[in-house]
Structure 1
Amino acid sequence: MWGALFLAALWWASWASAEEPIKIGVILDLSGPAATIGTPSKLVVQMVVDKINQEGGINGRPLELVIGDTEGDPAKALMVAKRLVEKDQVAALIGPTRTGTGMAVKGYIEKAEIPTIMTVGGDPVIAGGPFGPFRWTFKTPQRTSVAVKKVYAYLKEKCLTRVAILTATDEFGKDGLDRLKQLAPEYGIEIAASEAFDVADTDMTTQLTKIRDTGAQALICWTIGPAGAWVAKNVRQLALTLPLIQCHGQPDPKYVELAGVAAEGNLMPSTKLMVADQLPDTDPQKAVIQDFIHLYKDVYHYDRQYPINTHCGYAWDAIMMLANAVRQVGTDREALRSAIEETKGFVGISGIYNLTPEDHNGLGTDSLVMIQVVDGGGQPAQ
């Protein structure tokens, strides 16, 4: 009898464990200046989790999201991260949205030893050296340096070697400024002028007036969110004829909506998601991207409020990469961290990821295409 009861207890414990949800923490800008990026990212993460759970979960266990709003505030981001890890006992974290909030939580992530896949654009979160260790920190958007290389290669091809740069004063903008200056000599690029603005600014005509008289052949703007659209409007207002190149954080219908006719002709590096219809059938990413678009548009209808942008793809890649690692090794933190770090040949929305201990992003310039706004939409740049 006691043997039967013991076996029954073991069966019950095994069944309960198999059904116990795997908690994933999600920290994103759901309000504040980057809410138009953070909110659709949250919707995509939920969409992926729904898909995985409908297919039976991971090794019989459903995924459960625990979501926190950073409000774009570094202090708030840190507080939310601590709550998710210490109170909610999540197995891993996805997010945050911006480089500044990413750096605000990175130190805690490394100390707490919690696997984290960020959706931030800047390099510092995985740069090491003076930026601190990144053993537990990963990110899905291309490194700033990769996007800068894509832009500079395009300019070199077009024989445009004298540029002006206009960058935001936040962490992402500063990272862009550093990489633009650092990599310019490698591509034979001369920086004719460098101006800055706050992400909350709505008028950059003073900076652009200074740039107008420098003889620059192109203007590179490094920011995400509405500020980039204000730059485009001011460029048009001042009748500047030099090409305006935005960063890899701006391929987004929202940018075109905010900038209006001033967006026409603007250039930017982008993931293939934004030119999905024009990919050849032989491209290994095409089927993955089409599946994403079908779910986003036809099943969940998210595009009615949040048209697809590059950040949606970064969120998909983050949760999918994490899910793949959990499927392989479970939720032991060290094993999970190692599995993420050993990701090879993962075909995502934003590229084909090949991570290493030294590179916690795993994307190169071939993951980006240069696009141009034509008739309000993105087209491959000529």
Structure 2
Amino acid sequence: MSRILIVLAALFLCSTPALAAEATGDPILVGGLFAESGPAAFVGTPSRLVAEMTVKKINAAGGILGRPIKLVIHDTESNPDVALRMARQLVEAENVLAIIGPTSTGEGLAVKKYTEEKNVPTIMTVGGDPVIAGGNFGPFTWTFKTPQRTSTAAEKIYEYLKAKGITSVAVMTAKDAFGQDGLNHLKNLAGKYGMDIVAEETFDPKGTDFSAQAFKLTTASPKAVIIWTIGPAGAIVAKNFAALPGDKPLVVECHGQPGSEFLQLAGPAANGVIMPATKLMAPDSLPASDPQAAVVRAFIADYDKEGIQAKFPINTHSGYAFDALILLQAGLQKAGKADPAALRDALETLKNVVGVSGVFTITPEDHNGLSTDSMVMLEVVDGKYQVAK
């Protein structure tokens, strides 16, 4: 089974409708929760487009278990309360088998408790992994996620810094759930990697200038400063540090930043900034022997062919909805039937499923299944991303 799953995504991407049996029977209903409006829309809208692109290819290749997939999608408006309300509608009014999404950490926290109570397999596309009452964001019984855990991204950063002989760091994190999640993991993991966090600052991610926080951090003389936020705030922070006089620390952004928007907004200040990312952001660095190489390149080609690239240039978030549907496909094929409990049990034992964000091996203890090996460290050089040396 493991070898079959290793090539599952590649076969799916290379399949053609002419070679596939036509999907028949009632469609398998799958809910989609995406922020298509509000501050997270820059992630949620392309995620919805990717989900539709992926389902179209799955159905063209014969569907799953001989049945077509039908997406039932709702806009969460980047609002946790709306996300919860839409989840209720998907489950109680529209009778979906499973849910993919939502987009942001706050939305994920709002939805998770409900879907767990209702026994709904949910493959989330959020990047956060908050520590909350009752344990971490996951694993839970019915909740899975495709982005690397926050702890995985933090460890990737620390691995890189340690290899460079850097142990003195400062951290600057957004006040929202995603930023504070990052702060918690950075602090919890610092001792494991011999890191000394010499200063901390927080900021409102909706702000337009963080020069004061940047200056305060530099007075502690860290060798590197780690920024934890998504969206335009990360570029603003990079510009704030670049504008400071004298010696400056190495600026490290989190795994939520890699994309063209950061480069455009930060401008020349982006040069020299490093950050962890999925291999999607470094396709040319992948040797043919890498099991992700064919999948990543085929995804990029489809993303462009469908016209998504022209509207939403690929970034580190682009593959999460694809991965959620690939895991759903593998889980249903392993379960052999469209049953929530059987799907959940199958998802929990998937091994070597090749996606855009990594090669997933899920266990009862780890409902994400990705390690630091699934990420690369990028550096911005002359306004472009390249693998950091």
Q: Normalization by structure 2: what TM-score?
A: 0.91
The residue that corresponds to 1:278 in the other structure is: 285
Shift of residue 199 of structure 1?
1.8
Kindly provide the amino acid, as one letter, of the partner of residue 272 in structure 1. Answer: K
The correspondence for 1:30, drawn from 27, 36, 40, is: 36
List gaps (5 residues or longer) in structure 2: 1-22
The correspondence for 1:58, drawn from 64, 69, 77, is: 64
Distance change in 2, residues 1:153/1:46 (3 Å): same
Distance change in 2, residues 1:292/1:128 (3 Å): farther
Kindly provide the amino acid, as one letter, of the partner of residue 50 in structure 2. Answer: V
| 1-structure distance, mates of 2:111, 2:43 | 19
Segment drifting more, 326-335 vs 148-157: 326-335
SS at match of 2:65: coil
The residue that corresponds to 1:295 in the other structure is: 302
Shift of residue 186 of structure 1?
1.1
Larger CA Rg, structure 1 vs 2: 1
Shift of residue 359 of structure 1?
0.4
Distance change in 2, residues 1:126/1:110 (3 Å): farther
Shift of residue 31 of structure 1?
1.1
Which structure has more relative contact order (CA 8 Å, sep 6+)? It is 2
The residue that corresponds to 1:323 in the other structure is: 329
Answer yes or no: is 1:340 the counterpart of 2:347. Answer: yes
More helix by share: 1
| 1-structure distance, mates of 2:80, 2:188 | 27
Answer yes or no: is 1:371 the counterpart of 2:367. Answer: no
Distance change in 2, residues 1:126/1:96 (3 Å): farther
Question: What does 1:1-382 correspond to in 2, within 5 Å?
Answer: 18-124=24-130, 129=135, 134-239=140-245, 241-297=248-304, 299-329=305-335, 330-382=337-389
Kindly provide the amino acid, as one letter, of the partner of residue 342 in structure 1. Answer: T
| 1-structure distance, mates of 2:327, 2:299 | 15
Aligned residues: 365
Distance change in 2, residues 1:189/1:103 (3 Å): same
| 2-structure distance, mates of 1:78, 1:102 | 9
Cα contact 1:106–1:125 (8 A) shared by 2: no
Cα contact 1:28–1:42 (8 A) shared by 2: yes
| 2-structure distance, mates of 1:136, 1:370 | 31
Q: Normalization by structure 1: what TM-score?
A: 0.92
Cα contact 2:31–2:71 (8 A) shared by 1: yes
Distance change in 2, residues 1:57/1:73 (3 Å): same
Alignment RMSD: 1.7
Cα contact 2:150–2:182 (8 A) shared by 1: yes
Kindly provide the amino acid, as one letter, of the partner of residue 213 in structure 2. Answer: Q
Cα contact 1:125–1:134 (8 A) shared by 2: no
List gaps (5 residues or longer) in structure 1: 1-16
Which digits, 9 at most, give the CA deviation of each residue in 1:218-261, with x for residues without a partner?
11001111111111121122246211101111111111112222
Shift of residue 129 of structure 1?
2.3
Percentage identity across paired residues of the two chains: 54
| 2-structure distance, mates of 1:86, 1:247 | 37
Cα contact 1:72–1:101 (8 A) shared by 2: yes
Cα contact 1:116–1:136 (8 A) shared by 2: yes
Cα contact 1:128–1:134 (8 A) shared by 2: no
SS at match of 1:122: coil
SS at match of 1:312: coil
